[in-house]
Each structure stands twice: as structure tokens, then as C-alpha cells.
A = this chain, B = another copy of it.
Amino acid sequence: MKLSNRLNSMQESPIRKLVPLAEQAKKRGLEVIHMNIGQPDIKTPKAFKQAINDFDLDVIAYSFSQGEPELIRTISDYYRRYDMEYEEDEILITNGGSEALIFAIYAVADAGDEILVPEPFYTNYNGFSKPANVNVVPITTKSEEAFRLPPKEEIEKLITDKTKAILFSNPGNPTGAIYGPEELRMLAEIAKEHELYLIADEVYREFVYDGMEYVSMGNIEGVQDRVIIVDSISKRFSACGARIGSLASKNKELMASILKLCQARLCVPTLEQVGAMELYKMDPGYFTGVKEEYDKRRMIVYEGVNRIDGVMCKKPRGAFYVIVDLPVDDADDFARWMLAEFSYEGATLMVAPAAGFYATEGLGKNQIRLAYVLEEDKLKTGIAVLEKALEAYNS
């Protein structure tokens, strides 16, 4: 039985491929330090589950296709803290940031169209584009340049008559890079000059370090009809399993178009929206503590890996990931080898080989992504394992 071609070209998750090896390592009695995935160990605020528990109703009925009005209002209020004015009809609730990204891509690009994405990028940007027959065209950024964007002319060279949008995460997964006002204004100029949409995945908005002030694509003037902001409670409130995301745009025609996609899938779960409202209503002070915790972890990883011979990473400035250059030819082989054959003091390390985050063949082969979402001791153990593993692997 023939299947569609559109899914053939979808790659398997570069992380999930390693899962069976990790499971086997656990069966051998090893502790596996999971620095491979952005699943934080920070507790989900109690307000989330409490609101769900307190919510009493006889029939779990359909919610509104655009989302629960009160959740939309709390997100509108939340944006105001960042000087973004999104009215209630300019916000839609989605099944995670994932669905917001899918909807954005479908709304701006037809089959055969192209979307520019700075690489390395969140692999699922490809996973969302491929089923739609939309092609991701990479804007290559480099480890040694801390993954900053190339100059305008370099980006413009990639634009064709098929290009419909620039999609990026800021703060960046997997790079930890942050695009400041200058870079955002450059993207805005490109968008205006070439009639493109700007899809800004800002799910890590709160996680910026070194006292930097965060600037959103939603703050840049003159392009707001082109901007689509993607958000999610997953990382922001450590509620990955709740699957509540949102999409915001001031382009009414775009929103009407996306509402049709919302209506087709009927609605997002009622209970999870009830929990999410309480998260967005929390005092912004909540983030101070969380950010301090991540910042501490960031420095442990950044300083820790740079102390290892032949290892290099530039200081990440946001999110909770870092791309690390290793003294190996094939980080995928090294990652598999660590899980299958290596341990140090009863532990081994799971990392994400970075080649899967690049669209350009051959790039990232000596790189891994580490997520610093675990408590201090585990991160230190992880780095110790990495150091010893590299010594053993290279000898």
C-alpha cells in the first residue's frame, strides 16, 4: 500500500532515535543524565493544577474554537507588560506552540513555497513544513560567531519569488542566541522590501540573561501586519505536557484565515485552558526566581564545557540550550557510543547531536546541543561524564 510522499521526506526526530539506547543503558543500571531534551525539572506552579481541580462542571463541552475568552484576555494583559498591544481578536489559543507554528506556516505558504529559517533551528520547523509541502531554506549561522545573523545582503541572496516568510526562534533553540533590536529591525526591513511574513517563535521570551532587556518582534514598528508571534506555556511555566500555545497577529485577514483552521479542529482542551489562565495571571515576579535558577545552570554548563580540552561554546544569552563544538568528527556516533558503551561512576549522558538541527548537509557534525534544564548536581555529573567520555572516545 503506497503512502503519501509528503511524509517520506520528514526526518525522524534526531533525539528520539537515541531513546532505545538510553532505555538499554537504564536497564543496565546506569543513571542517564538527560541533557538532550528541553523538559525542565522546574515545578509547574501549583496554580495550574489547583484551578483545574477547582473547576467543576457536569459536561466537558466544546470550548470556543479561538480559545477561552478569559485565557485570551490574560494573554493580552501579559503582552502589555512587554509593550505589545494585542487585542482579544488578535490572539488565538492553540494545541501547544506546535499548532501555532503549523497554522502560521499553512496560512502564509502554499505547496512549493519557501520559508527562510536561521540554522541550526528547532527540528520540528521542518516537521511542520514538510507535510504542507513547504520548503525550509536555511540561513546559516555559525558557532564561532555565537550564531548571530549574517548581514542583510547574505540573507537577501536566499530570497526567491517562492519565499513567503522568515521563521525564527528568539531566544533561540538550539543556539541560546538572542536577536537584539538591530537584528530584528534588519529582519523587518527585509520583510518589508521582499513582502514577507515574520513568524517569531518567542516561547523562551523570559529566559534572557546578563541583564539584557528583551525585545520582541512585536515591538518593532512599521511591520506589525507582517508579524506572527508564537507563544506557549510549556517552557515559560514548565508545563510542557499541558499543550497550550497561542498565536498573535495584528493582521485581521490572516487571523480570519487561521480561525478557519481553528474551527475545523473544533477547540483546544477546556481544562488545560482553565489551568493556563492562572499561570498567565501570576505575578511577573515568578520569573525572577526561575530565571536566576536557569542562569546559575547556564554558567555551570558554559564554564564546565569550556574547561574540557578541545571543547568550545560561546556564552549562550537566552533560552536554556547551548550548542557545543566537540573534538570529534561525528557527534552522532559519539552520542550513541556514550549511551551504548560508556559510563563514569554509574552514570552516562544523553545529548542531542546537532546535525539534526541543520538543513545544510554536513553542518553541525562535530556539535551537540545541551539543555540546562536539570538541577545543578546533575548538570555537574553530566559535564564530568562528557569530559571523561571524550578522553576515552578519542584515545
Which residues 72-87 of A have a CB within 8 angstroms of B?
Answer: none
The complex places the Cα of A101 from the Cα of B226 at a distance, in Å, of 31
A16 within 8 A of B: yes
* Chain B residues near A124 (CB-CB < 8 A): 264-266
Query: With a CB–CB cut-off of 8 A, which chain B residues contact A10?
Result: 260-261, 264
A1-59 contacts to B (CB < 8 Å): 1-8, 10, 12-13, 16, 37, 39-44, 48-49, 52-53, 56, 58-59
| A360: B residues at CB distance < 8 A | none
Q: How far is the CA of A264 from the CA of B129 in the complex (A)?
A: 10
Q: Is the interface of A mostly helix, strand, loop or mixed?
A: loop
Chain B residues with CB under 8 Å of A111's CB are 6, 111, 133
Interfacial chain B residues near A362, Cβ < 8 Å: none
Stretch at the interface among A137-145, A251-259, A310-318: A251-259
A63: B residues at CB distance < 8 A: 241
Of the candidate stretches A169-177, A200-208, A212-220, A267-275, the one touching chain B is A267-275
The reply on A102 being an interface residue by CB < 8 A is: yes
Asked if A241 meets B195 with Cβ closer than 8 Å, knowing A1-B226, A52-B52, A266-B96, the reply is no
| A110 at the binding interface (Cβ < 8 Å) | yes
For the complex, what is the distance from the CA of A271 to the CA of B49, rounded to whole Å? 10
A99 within 8 A of B: yes
Q: Which residues of A contact B (CB under 8 A)?
A: 1-8, 10, 12-13, 16, 37, 39-44, 48-49, 52-53, 56, 58-63, 65, 95-96, 98-99, 102, 106-111, 113, 124, 127-128, 131-133, 164, 195, 197, 225-226, 238-243, 251, 253-254, 257-258, 260-261, 263-272
